[in-house]
C-alpha cells in the first residue's frame, strides 16, 4: 500500500427482517445504520437481508 492512498473498506450488514417500504423496527435500524455509514469516505456499505427485499423498498438514495 502506498502512503497517502485511500483504502477502500467494505461493510456488510445483514438484517434479520425484510426490507420494504413499510419497515419494521429492525428494518428501520439497519436501513438507517447503512445510510449513516454510507456517508463515510472510502467505505462501501452493503445491506443484505435474510427475508428479502420487496419491489417497494425505500429509495436507496445513493447507497445499496
At residue 3, does pLDDT exceed 80? Answer: no
Q: Where are the domains of the chain?
A: 1-64
pLDDT digits (tens, 9 = 90+) for 14-42: 998 887 777 778 888 888 899 999 999 99
The residue count of the chain comes to 64
Name every residue whose Cβ is closer than 8 Å to that of residue 44 and which is 6 or more positions away in sequence: 8, 9, 10, 11
Residue with cell string 427485499 = 53
At residue 50, does pLDDT exceed 80? Answer: yes
Q: Model pTM? A: 0.69
**pLDDT at residue 12, as a whole number:** 96
Q: Which grid cell is 47?
A: 445491506
User: Torsion angle, CA of 54/61/37/19, rounded to 10 degrees?
Assistant: -10
For the chain, the maximum distance between any two Cα atoms, rounded to a whole number of angstroms, is 45
Amino acid at each position: 500500500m502506498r502512503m497517502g492512498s485511500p483504502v477502500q473498506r467494505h461493510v456488510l450488514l445483514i438484517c434479520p427482517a425484510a426490507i420494504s417500504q413499510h419497515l419494521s423496527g429492525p428494518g428501520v435500524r439497519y436501513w438507517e445504520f447503512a445510510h449513516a455509514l454510507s456517508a463515510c469516505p472510502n467505505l462501501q456499505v452493503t445491506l443484505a437481508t435474510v427475508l428479502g427485499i420487496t419491489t417497494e423498498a425505500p429509495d436507496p438514495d445513493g447507497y445499496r
